[in-house]
Structure 1
Amino acid sequence: MRLWWIPLLLVCAAWSGCGVYTPYGAQTNGARTFSVSYFTPVASLAGPEVGQQFTEALKDLIQRQSTLRWVQDGGEIQYSGRIVGYDVSTSAVAGGQEVASQNRLTMQVQLRYVHTLDADLDFERTFSRFADFPATSDLFDVETQLVEEINEQLTQEVFNASLGNW
């Protein structure tokens, strides 16, 4: 019984069905590297740490959810932009009273995406997200947590728009 070739045939069939795995469906279109320039805060209420936190959050998310390798400058995919909005507003009013019960921190990021290998994929767009907090809380006490929450949402939206397979 010469059935030794059956396992070999099964292994070959299994290998031929394998493709390249890309985590989270990231579409890099041949790019292997990316760079993220510092997102300068130009909004009046945003401190310099807000730009640094967003820049690092975007870099970290792309490294976690794609196979791209980060480079300091000149990546095949390039992200740049600025923080153009950073505002606090009232999001809810207490029942029947003219007193705020919830406040909202809104952050807007103007982003430029450049794919050096395929210029048809380039775009410029403004992304906006917010987080609510109790009106009884001081913004300075909750700001770090709110910015982290907003950055998580913003960076995921940027990733989906630039590399997402949607």
Structure 2
Amino acid sequence: SRIPPLVQRAGRMPVTTAETDEEKSDWLRAEFFPPPMPVSSVPPNPVYPPPAWEWSPVSDDLLRRAADKMKPYKATFPDSIPNCVIKECTNLLIPFVGPILRSLDDLEHFPEDWAELRIPVLRKPGKPDYDVPGAYRPIALTKGLARWLYGAKDLQQVAEAEIAGILPRNQFG
């Protein structure tokens, strides 16, 4: 592993050290992902209001807009389509990929491997000491097509919420 031994301190004095990869992983996981709430804040048997809008599949226009918003060189899953390919080839991909992405909703299917992600750990630049978990940050590597679909659905949900008037006036995205 390229991460040096991690140290937890009390003031300036080291208290415990994580030497093995397993120990370091546990410490970084605890730093990045806080434990879940012990009790759900959702009351039992909640009564939800009626839907504020009618669901509709993502359109080609939404897929185009989502592709335009993608960062071209953001890292994706190793065996996935890179964002730059989606961004540069949108007009070629939409006639073929658009119907497939829409059919996933129609069939109520989501590919299992699209839910898989990898979380590599990167050093935060300019930190004086890299032996503490807070000197690192996680990045999520996801599948390119899944990210494209998520982006289109996100644009759709925000637009529908704005039209329905359920977002605060100063809420952005």
Per the TM superposition, whether the score is higher than 0.5 is no
* TM-score in terms of structure 1 length: 0.24
- Considering fraction of residues, name the structure with more strand: 1
* TM-score in terms of structure 2 length: 0.23
- Considering fraction of residues, name the structure with more helix: 2
